[in-house]
Structure 1
Amino acid sequence: MILGVLRALWMIFWIFWGTLAIGGAAIVMALFGIRGPVYVRMTRRWAQVALWSSGSNAVLHGLENVTPGQPFILVANHVSWFDIFAIAARLPVDYHFVAKKELEKIPVFGLAWRVAGHISIDRTNRESAARSLRKAGEQMRQQKSVVVIFAEGTRSRTGRLLPFKKGAFVLAAETGIPIIPTIVTGSFDIMRPDTFVVRPATIHVYFEPAVPAQGVSVDALMTRTRDVFVQRLGETDSLPPLDPAPALPDPTATARGEGSA
């Protein structure tokens, strides 16, 4: 437990200084009118610092489904901040995230987020959210980049798949840009909700074959995409009552000789 707390402090230290250094540099560059994919590389470096400082790693599967120079909507599940770190640190093509507008309020990070071209959604204002999604579509077409959207709209606090929001699927249906179901596993236990303990792990990110969006309704797109998640995660889609999360093992138990055969 003590080791996990120290790891959390170490990670926060590096994320803080990484945000100041990398985010601050991005803000200064924007003031001088610098534009282009350099901000994607800076986002990637920031996420690499966060992932490294946690002692965790990310392994990507199915990268052959992400064709460079072709726009896609990566629709991902979301159980932890480490989902963001894993995708942002390892995804080798240009990308932008779509996330809640509240992130813009974080000092330095929020301004760096905007100048890097990531897209904020005001979930309390439907018209504003629609404009943000249209901006995402225009950005993908112009830059032939990837947009990353977390389908559930918020982090799952149980590790189980939540109901999907329609935003990503409206964007796909309106633009005809295919969806790549992006399934993240192994991140939930690194830092459980409402805890201050980091337990390093390997995160696996699966890029599944694209779901075509041309001529497909929003509801059909959402159903087809969710079916891919359900199959990969081994869950049912009936959303039954959840059992309490199992207790995390005590990392000092082995040293004390507890729980050994």
Structure 2
Amino acid sequence: MTMAFLRGLLYMSLFFPLTFLVAGTALVCSLPDPRRYGAFARFWGRMGLALAGIRVAVNGTERLPAGPVIVMSNHQSNFDILALQGHFPRRLSWIAKEELFRIPVFGPSMRRGGYIPLDRGHGRKALKSIDEAAQQIRNGASVIIFPEGTRTRDGRLLPFKRGGFMLAARAGVPVVPVTLVGSFGVNPGGTCKLYPFRQVEIRIGKPIAVPQGMRRSEAEEFLMARVHDAIAKEIG
């Protein structure tokens, strides 16, 4: 058993209780005003990073357009969510699999925070779920999606899943490609190994809008190709 593995186990023994404590506190304290939830979410992200001594640098803030956006990011480790939640310059809601919303305390807290459940199955139920999420985005929610669908196991960018781009085409808001650099070195995907006291960089790319007049299927292909190219270029 390596030292990195032991560090990861110790980290999780502290982080999971912290997560449920913050989720429960946020749920109760935001009852008078749901806007309070964002401060707790940012605190959670920053505390999770601080436990591992991780620093975060953000570049490209000036590229963010006004209004709701869909952020598409690569996914290298468990620390990606913490970095984006704690340091992204705009409050983000999360597109998360529906099963997570069934977890006691954690699930109701996510709903309170405006996070959006997405049915990842097939057929009409999945399409209805995407349409409902698109409506929330049009109503003003900015969201984050990991289009790879899972964490990379070797640091390379994985093929993209189509679901996020179906949502983007329906929502009709700009897509902002974001590249996370350094998080794989902190916690390689697929392991609980932890290499602390490092830096993660959030690189915000230029927003991508769908050209007028495109059919949805064409818009999905267009966005998928452009976002993939933007992130792959930054990863190198």
Report the TM-score when normalising by structure 2: 0.87
Please tell me the residue identity of whatever aligns with 1:163: P
In the superposition, relative to structure 1, how do residues 157 and 105 fare at CA in structure 2: closer, same or farther (>3 Å)?
A: farther
Q: What's the RMSD between the two structures over aligned residues?
A: 2.2
Following TM superposition, by how much is the alpha carbon of 1:29 offset from its aligned partner in structure 2, in angstroms? Answer: 4.3
Q: Could you tell me how far apart the structure 2 residues matched to 1:45 and 1:85 are?
A: 10
Verify: 1:163 aligned to 2:159, yes or no: yes
Please tell me the residue identity of whatever aligns with 2:165: F
Match of 1:36 in 2: 34
Counterparts of 1:134-173 in structure 2, within 5 Å, are: 134-142=131-139, 144-173=140-169
Verify: 1:76 aligned to 2:76, yes or no: no
Secondary structure in structure 1 of the residue aligned to 2:75: coil
Structure 2 segments unaligned to the other structure (5+ residues): none
Q: Could you tell me how far apart the structure 2 residues matched to 1:164 and 1:107 are?
A: 31
Please tell me the residue identity of whatever aligns with 1:73: I
Match of 1:108 in 2: 105
Match of 1:255 in 2: none
Q: 1:47 aligned to 45, 48, 55, which one? A: 45
In the superposition, relative to structure 1, how do residues 204 and 28 fare at CA in structure 2: closer, same or farther (>3 Å)?
A: same
Secondary structure in structure 2 of the residue aligned to 1:37: helix
Match of 1:197 in 2: 193
Q: Could you tell me how far apart the structure 2 residues matched to 1:197 and 1:154 are?
A: 17
Structure 1 segments unaligned to the other structure (5+ residues): 235-261
In the superposition, relative to structure 1, how do residues 58 and 66 fare at CA in structure 2: closer, same or farther (>3 Å)?
A: same
Secondary structure in structure 1 of the residue aligned to 2:155: coil
Match of 1:64 in 2: 62
Per-residue CA deviations over 1:75-121 (Å, capped at 9, x if unaligned) read 11112111111101101212101122232344432332222111122
Verify: 1:187 aligned to 2:183, yes or no: yes
Q: Could you tell me how far apart the structure 1 residues matched to 2:117 and 2:103 are?
A: 13
Q: Could you tell me how far apart the structure 2 residues matched to 1:128 and 1:37 are?
A: 30
Query: Is residue 37–residue 94 contact of structure 1 (8 Å, CA) maintained in 2?
Result: no
Following TM superposition, by how much is the alpha carbon of 1:9 offset from its aligned partner in structure 2, in angstroms? Answer: 4.0
Per-residue CA deviations over 1:37-86 (Å, capped at 9, x if unaligned) read 2222221111111111121121111011124x511110111121111111
- How many residues align structurally? 230
Secondary structure in structure 2 of the residue aligned to 1:120: strand
Percentage identity across paired residues of the two chains: 34
Please tell me the residue identity of whatever aligns with 1:223: A
Please tell me the residue identity of whatever aligns with 1:167: G
Query: Is residue 8–residue 54 contact of structure 1 (8 Å, CA) maintained in 2?
Result: no
In the superposition, relative to structure 1, how do residues 194 and 136 fare at CA in structure 2: closer, same or farther (>3 Å)?
A: closer
Secondary structure in structure 2 of the residue aligned to 1:189: helix
Following TM superposition, by how much is the alpha carbon of 1:226 offset from its aligned partner in structure 2, in angstroms? Answer: 1.1
Per-residue CA deviations over 1:177-216 (Å, capped at 9, x if unaligned) read 0110011111112122454431022111111000112424
Secondary structure in structure 2 of the residue aligned to 1:94: coil
Please tell me the residue identity of whatever aligns with 1:83: D
